[in-house]
A and B are shown apart, each in its own frame.
Chain A
Amino acid sequence: MSSTAVLINLLALTGLAFALSRDRHKVRQALRMSLKTFIGILPPIITMIVAISLMMAFLRPDDISRFIGEQAGFRGTLAIAALGAVLFMPAIIAFPFAASLLDNGASVQAVAAFITTLTMIGVVTLPLEIREFGRRMALLRNAFSAGIALLIAVVIGAVL
């Protein structure tokens, strides 16, 4: 179990204990809501796991860095930003991978774009986001984030 998992479970248990001491009836109501949310959220999560698993199997980090390392310039930044938007990678892998991109000759600009789109834009998690917030808000957030990522990349590329 990861430390985040421990933390979240601890939080849930403390909350539950506290709530039970306050009002048992409301706790039952809350847990019914939890179950309903869970049933609704499960399908997009299953879809997401399938997509991530296939992606990790077919696209390996060293393949990508070989592909990106060759090209530079803004075109390369756009390509790698798009890649970051589609990919889904835990931070533990993402940062060492970003460092290896730099070592392989990618520009700072490209790496900044990659990290920002990777974390902020989730094509894989988009169905989940749309379910919770509606299409309009989810698409707006992801589109704006893409713009921000490129802006950040250009500034970082210029400064560093």
Chain B
Amino acid sequence: MSQGQPAKPGGQGGPAVGVARGYAFAGAAALAGALLLLRFPAKALPAVSTARDYVLEMMTILPAVMVIVGLVGVFVSKDVVVKYMGKASGPRGILLSIVAGALPTGPLYVAFPLAAALLKKGARVSNVMIMLSAWACIKLPQELMELQFLGWRFMLLRLSLTIVLVVAMSLGIERIIEWGEVRKATPGA
């Protein structure tokens, strides 16, 4: 885990090589998938139709998300992020992170680049983790589905447990990350 640096969001470091390797890997995955479907032709139709659905979804969502990431990166000042989600933001920062995550704003992979941009701007590790987790499992439309299919007792219990544990987890992860950084900064300690 020696290269486990937490912060290289946006992937600016050594971009060309990393990106080329990424494309090679994606190409290999697509090729492997195609070969697999050639062996099992009966599965080809459902696989291709799922892929088409996702590509369509990406095409309608991803450009907008990228525009938002760019705008946040350039226009939102560091001070604002630090003030609302930084070290001194306290419980208000936690609440804001939960609310931001719970808004109906699309699937989790949309959140990764956005959260990484916030992290780079000075948001606390714990708040970014809380936002990601809330984004993953406390989405408002999703909770309505849960209410309808699993009942209010199940939903409320799972929701409250999740919020409490996610906050605890995020603070814990922040501790671990910072501990790692301190240790790296003072070799021999």
Contacts and interface: CB of A to CB of B under 8 A. Distances in A.
Interface of A: 1-5, 7-9, 11-13, 15-16, 19, 22, 26-27, 29-54, 56-58, 90-92, 94-96, 98-99, 102, 108, 111-112, 115-116, 119-120, 122, 125, 128-129, 131-137, 139-141, 144-145, 147-148, 151-152, 155-156, 159-160
B38 interface: no
Nearest to B20: A43
A136 B55 contact: no
B81 interface: no
**Which 5 residue pairs spanning A and B have beta carbons closest together?**
A136-B4, A34-B70, A43-B22, A57-B47, A12-B64
Interface in B122-141: 125, 129, 132-133, 136-137, 139, 141
Contacts of B80: none
Interface in B1-43: 1, 3-11, 15, 18-19, 22-23, 25-26, 29-30, 32-33, 36-37, 40, 43
Contact of A37 (B36, B54, B70): B70
B113 A50 contact: no
B23 to A, nearest CB: 5
Instruction: Name the prevailing secondary structure of the A interface residues.
Output: helix
Interface residues of B, number: 90
A6 B109 CA distance: 17
B54 A49 contact: yes
B189 interface: no
B70 A51 contact: no
A152 to B, nearest CB: 5
Given A132-B113, A144-B173, A54 B47 contact: yes
Contacts of B142: 91, 95, 119
A38 B75 contact: no
B166 to A, nearest CB: 7
Contact of A16 (B67, B110, B112, B139): B67
Interface string B35-71: 0110010011011101100110110111111111111
Given A12-B67, A54-B47, A131-B11, A4 B165 contact: no
A5 B33 CA distance: 28
